[in-house]
Every structure is written in C-alpha cells, then in structure tokens.
Amino acid sequence: MPNQPTRRFKICGGIELGDPVNVWTIDQQAYVPPQGGVWCYTDTLLWNGPLPVQPITEGLVNCDPVTGRLGQLDLKWQPISLSRGYRVQIAKDENFSLVVADIGSTWGGPFYTPPNLDAPAMRISPGGAVVDANGNTWTIAPLEANHDYYWRVTVQDVCTTDAITSPWSWREIFRVRPGLPVNTHYIGPQLLSPNNGCVGCTIEPISFSWSPFRETTKYRFVLAKDPAMQDIIVDAKTNTSAYEFNGTLEYDSTYFWHIKTVEQFPSDWSPTFCFQTESEPSPTTPGTTTEFPVWISVIIVLGLAINILLLIMILQRRAVKN
C-alpha cells in the first residue's frame, strides 16, 4: 500500500493535529484515524443560529438607581459548532430597523469573542462599555428605563478559521425596570430635535438642536450611520446649539447623532439619539391623466342627457305659447 499523506487539522484552541505517523493526541488520549475512505461533513451552522439563554422572553433587567437608566446587562447564549466570533444586535423594534447597539461586524471583523467559548456571554456595564477578550471595544449608550428592547446573535467566526456564518438567532425581548422618580440627567447638553426614535424624518434639509450648556462657546456635532459612531457622515464644530445638515440622507435609513461641548467647559458626550428617514415616494410619470371609474362617467352622461331633454321641453313650451 502506498504511503498515505499526512492529514493536518486545527481544532478549537489552536491545537494542530497531524504528524508523519498519523498518531495524534487529544486530551492525553491517542487517536489513530482510519486510512482511506470517504469523509462526510454536515454543516451544522446552515439552518440554526445560536440559542439565546438570558434574558428570556420579556425578562426584566435591573435599572441603575443612580441614573434611572439601564443597569448591568448580561446576555448569554448556547455555543454551536466550535463558534468563536459573534455579532450581537440590540434594537428598539422587533424588525431591527432601529438598532441601538451593533457589537461585532460582518466578515472581516472585529468580532465579539467571549472570554469563555463554552459558555458565551456578554456583559454590558451601566456605563455602556463592552470590551472583548481581544481588546476590541464597542461603546453603547445606556438604554432607557421602562422600555422594551430586542436582541439577537449570529456566528461570524469559528475555531477552524473556515469562512462559515450562521443565521440570526430568534429575537428575544427584555424590559428595563422602571427607574426612580428622581432621574439624574446625563452630564452634558440635552438633545432636542429630532427626538430619539423619530420616524419619517426628511432626507434634506434636516436640522439638529440641543439645549445650551453653561456658557459654552463651541460644540462638537457628530452624525453617523451606526450606533458605535464609527461610520461618520458629519463631524463638525459649531458656535450655536443647533446644526443644519445641507446634504442628502438616504431613504428608509437609520442614523445616529450626539454632541459634546468643547469650549469653555468641555463635557462628556450626550446620549446617542437615533432617527429613521422617510420612505422613498412612488415615482410619477409626467403627463399622465387621472382615470375616473366607469360609474362616474355613466353618471356624467346621464346628467347631460337629462339637461338636454329639459332644455328641449322648455323650448317646445315657448314655441307653443307663441
């Protein structure tokens, strides 16, 4: 029998299997693979995504007693098929058109890698900072108290380094508990318009405004396409508590914006507001005429016929009198 080529494999944790004698060790147990034959593989990520575990449907999440907003949030899900990198989304609506947190990204990374691959989880602190094991950081604005939010997760990377992804998990919903009657404001200016979660905003022009902040002479305004404020459209400074965007936004798109003071009293970033633009209007063809229903045409014809008959009768009576 001719010499069999050496098979090499890589499993989770970076352990490489394969040597000239085809005898490998996994967990201190020797393994000799069968020679020859046909190997069959099943793609276990094709149909099912990860299984959300916590918080469960309509689960309550604690509220931070100091700010009256989201406290610590722990998201947990079950691992599947040597998954390593994940993408997690949190949104205000079940269709995920108003995404407030998008942790991870499409292929190319960086992905969210849990500290424990056997029990994947993500912890969001009251401050909103999320740092994964590889040092990648995503900033999430604190979620509002007494509101419902939806979340889902998908696999973006596996330990075998294969380009395999999974469908989204089913969407889960959780509610942030009501806060205290006395609500502490964010340190910094308060955003006014467009209000948070606004739907149907015009694509051009669009004006942004916020409350003035203690003798401030300059503000920094940032408008972006993503909640992490990385895909920036505008990053400008203004001397007033308003900014008018003269460009054109896209139809049916979600945008995010926040501001901070830079002179004379620098502040923290304001909370991040989001809004959705209007839908694209239906195209109209110039010169087209409006078609009336048939019954309207019939009524018009009958009305004209009656008027003509009345006119004839009037003329006949006048002729008889004369």
Domain co-membership, 138 together with 220: no
Of 147, 176, 205, the domain-final residue: 176
Mean model confidence pLDDT for the chain: 75
DSSP per residue, 98-123: SEEEEES-STTSPPB--S-TTS-EEE
Residue 125 placed within a domain: yes
What is the pLDDT, as a whole number, of residue 251? 92
Write down which residue in 150, 176, 202 finishes a domain.
Answer: 176
In a domain, 26, yes or no: yes
Asked whether residue 268 carries a pLDDT value surpassing 80, the answer given is no
* 172 assigned to some structural domain: yes
pLDDT digits (tens, 9 = 90+) for 222-240: 999 988 788 899 999 998 8
- Buried residues in 45-82 as b, exposed as e (16+ CB within 10 A): beeebbebeebeeeeebebbeebbbbbebebbbebbbb
Mean pLDDT of 8-37: 47
Structural tokens at position 97: 């058109």
Please tell me whether residues 55 and 35 are part of one structural domain. no
Three-class DSSP category at 232 = strand
Phi and psi at residue 123, in whole multiples of 5°? -110, 125
pLDDT of 19 reads: 41
Contacts of 69 (CB under 8 A, 6+ apart): 63, 126, 142, 143, 144, 145, 176, 179
Q: Looking at the structure, tell me whether residues 172 and 208 fall in a common domain.
A: no
Residue 201 lies in a domain: yes
- Other beta carbons less than 10 A from residue 249's beta carbon: 19
Q: Who contacts 113 (Cβ-Cβ below 8 Å, separation ≥6)?
A: 84, 85, 86, 132, 133, 134, 157
Of the given ranges (44-53, 194-203, 226-235), which has the lowest mean pLDDT?
44-53
pLDDT at residue 222, rounded to an integer: 94
* Domain annotation covers residue 81: yes
The helix (H) or strand (E) run that includes residue 301 is helix 294-321
Where residue 244 falls among pLDDT bands split at 50, 70, 90? very high
- 59 and 166 both lie in a single domain: yes
Winning range, highest mean pLDDT, from 51-65, 83-97, 222-236, 273-287: 222-236
Report if residue 76 sits inside a domain.
Answer: yes
Q: Give me the half-sphere count of Cα atoms (radius 13 Å) on the Cβ side of residue 152.
A: 17
Residue 301 in domain: no
* Pair (196, 235) in one structural domain: yes
Q: Are residues 26 and 72 in the same domain?
A: no
Domain co-membership, 36 together with 56: no
Instruction: Identify the pLDDT of residue 68.
Output: 62
Give the domain-ending residue among 141, 176, 211: 176
- Residues 84 and 146 both lie in one domain: yes
Say how many C-beta atoms besides its own lie within 10 A of residue 182's C-beta: 6
- Structural domain of residue 10, as residue ranges? 1-40
Whether residue 24 is found in the same domain as residue 65? no
Share of the chain above pLDDT 90, in %: 11
Please say whether the beta carbons of 227 and 141 come within 8 A: yes
- In terms of domains, do 71 and 162 share one? yes
On the question of pLDDT at 281 being above 80, the answer is: yes
Structure tokens at 87: 């993408």
Give yes or no: residues 20 and 65 share one domain.
no
Choice among 19-28, 79-88, 92-101 with the minimum mean pLDDT = 19-28
How is residue 288 written in tokens? 């087209």
Q: Does residue 22 surpass a pLDDT of 50?
A: no
**CATH code, 213:** 2.60.40.10
Shared domain check, 165 and 56: yes
Q: Which residue has the higher pLDDT, 40 or 263?
A: 263
Q: What is the pLDDT of residue 235?
A: 93
| Residue 158 confidence (pLDDT) above 90 | no
- Strand-pair category, 254-263 with 51-54: unpaired
What would the pLDDT profile of 124-157 be if each residue is shown by its tens digit? 877 556 665 567 777 776 777 778 889 899 888 8
Sign of CA dihedral 192, 196, 200, 203: positive
Instruction: Report the domain count for the chain.
Output: 3
Establish if 157 belongs to a structural domain: yes
Residue 298 main-chain phi, psi, to 5 deg: -60, -45
Neighbours of 241 (CB within 10 A): 17
